[in-house]
A and B are shown apart, each in its own frame.
Chain A
Amino acid sequence: MKVDVLENILSVNEKLAEENRDLFDKKKIFVINLMASPGAGKTSFILKTIAGIKDKFEVAVIEGDVASQVDAEKIKAHGIPSVQINTGGACHLEANMIKNALEHLDLDNVDVLVIENVGNLVCPADFKLGEDLKVLILSIPEGDDKPLKYPLMFAETDVLILNKIDLLELSDFDQDKVKDVTHKLNPDLRTFKLSCKSDEGVKEWVDWLISRIDEAI
């Protein structure tokens, strides 16, 4: 006898992501899911972003790593509330991990929540967390072939940050190639080029983010 099932295989995570989303809407919190390879500059980017928006918004950060408190400690050293999730082997964050981490934050005093996902260009693309905005960092030393090699991630993200542009003259990174491929994968993609070291391009990103947050909350 045939029985119709028609159930999404990731339905458990999707349901929890929606519950997270409902809580964020209720508390008027704008949530960013930040993804990139290890070493692309996620934590530095978070610190630059916070510096640009903290006069307008109260920010909190959830850090995701396989092990260690390194990133959460960096954020806390700047006076920003931060919760570290250690996944103990899982290579991406899932909605249930975020739900648990939220219990350690005073959500009534948070306007913007940045979730730094585990360093990985493959898996985070599959797992919704309840975010408003997906941001993906590609840093210049990683090379211009990454959009071809990791298409789902580049197709799913809302924003692409090309980081470490201060290193362009030392590399063969072809910006037109990246633009061409990412435009084909994701026509609505917004791209910002910047350097967390030299501050070039950071203002454009921060200004855009502020307008985006103002629209949302």
Chain B
Amino acid sequence: MHELGITENIVSIVLKHGEKEGAKKITKITLRIGELTQVVGDCIQFYFDQLSKDTIAENAELIIEYIPIRVRCADCGSEKEASNYDFTCPSCGAICTEFISGREFLVDDIEVE
């Protein structure tokens, strides 16, 4: 949700880091986005194409690494990927309450020239 505002933040972050490195061009941006954030990648790409025009980030390749929701059972230690938000432990049937991954929401790195 709010992919426009999110993309504005992404552009702002990468320009800040790119300019700090004295980059002439940002060629690649890697985002790490957990599935629990429910962000729509196509929308980010669309807005990024608009917002990056006339900046050093224009035409940068946008890579989104989606991180699945992985949970751990506090009772027996089993881990699983929680597809469809089903947190039931496959080994003992308890509810897995520990999030190992799925909430990530960051700009991981950029490649510059």
Chain A residues with CB under 8 Å of chain B are 1-12, 122-123, 126, 148, 151-152, 155, 183-185, 187-188
Contacts and interface: CB of A to CB of B under 8 A. Distances in A.
Given A1-B111, A8-B106, A187 B17 contact: no
Interface of B: 1-2, 6, 9-10, 13-14, 17-18, 21, 23, 31, 36-38, 85-88, 95, 97, 105-113
Contacts of A151: 85
A5 B37 contact: no
Given A5-B109, A123-B1, 7 more contacts: A3-B112, A6-B106, A6-B109, A11-B9, A126-B1, A152-B38, A187-B95
Contacts of A184: 85-88, 95
B55 to A, nearest CB: 16
Main secondary structure of the interface of B (DSSP, over half): mixed
Given A5-B109, A184-B95, A126 B37 contact: yes
Main secondary structure of the interface of A (DSSP, over half): mixed
Nearest to B32: A6
A185 B108 contact: no
Given A3-B21, A184-B87, A9 B109 contact: no
Contacts of A126: 1-2, 37
A95 to B, nearest CB: 13
Contacts of A8: 105-106
> 6 shortest A-B CB distances, which residue pairs?
A5-B107, A151-B85, A187-B97, A8-B106, A184-B87, A4-B109
Contacts of B1: 122-123, 126
B42 to A, nearest CB: 17
A10 B105 contact: yes
B17 A5 contact: yes
A89 to B, nearest CB: 12
Nearest to B88: A184
A1 B21 contact: yes
B95 A7 contact: no
A3 B110 contact: yes
A79 B38 CA distance: 41
B9 A12 contact: yes
